[in-house]
């Protein structure tokens, strides 16, 4: 009986689900997989596929500069998700929200928690790091 008790904490620990990855590295991987073909490896809009489009994708390194020096995280996530798109958006930009963006995390702001796909949050976190 003593041996079984020794191994019980290990068995219980294995049942705990890992928190979804929202790191810059996870965001970079998502960017490389889903965005770089159009927006370019450097985020400036000159990806191999993007330069073939009628309208060249925007430079993602200037999002903060175009927003008074503040990175518009929620707006960026809404555009990527497809929730908030103006009529000026290219139809070539996929609405990633209709796809499976995986598990969600709770993002708390002003005491209000909002579930956000971890991949979407990681991508926005990465994009914030490439601002000039």
pLDDT tens, position by position, 121-130: 999 999 999 9
What is the dihedral sign for C-alpha 115, 118, 96, 130? positive
Residue 7, pLDDT > 70, answer no
| Phi, psi dihedrals of residue 86, rounded to the nearest 5° | -85, 170
Instruction: Please report the pLDDT score of residue 1 as a whole number.
Output: 47
**pLDDT digit string (tens) for 29-77?**
999 999 999 999 999 998 999 999 988 899 999 999 999 999 999 999 9
Report the predicted TM-score, pTM, of the whole model to 2 decimal places.
Answer: 0.82
Q: What is the pLDDT of residue 63?
A: 97
Question: Going from the N-terminus, what domains does the chain have, and what CATH number goes with each?
Answer: 21-129 (1.10.760.10)
- Asked if residue 8 has pLDDT above 60, the reply is no
What pLDDT score was predicted for residue 98? 84
């Amino acid at each position: 009986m003593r041996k079984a008790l020794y191994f019980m904490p290990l068995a219980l620990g294995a049942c705990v689900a890992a928190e979804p990855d929202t790191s810059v590295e996870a965001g970079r991987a998502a960017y490389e997989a889903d965005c770089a073909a159009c927006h370019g490896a450097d985020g400036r809009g000159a990806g191999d596929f993007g330069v073939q489009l009628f309208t060249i994708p925007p430079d993602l390194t200037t999002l903060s500069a175009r927003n008074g020096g503040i990175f518009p995280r929620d707006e960026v996530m809404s555009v990527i998700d497809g929730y908030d798109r103006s009529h000026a958006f290219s139809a070539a930009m996929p609405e990633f929200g209709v796809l499976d963006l995986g598990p969600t995390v709770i993002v708390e702001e002003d005491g209000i928690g909002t579930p956000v796909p971890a991949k979407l949050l990681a991508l926005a976190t990465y994009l914030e790091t490439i601002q000039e």
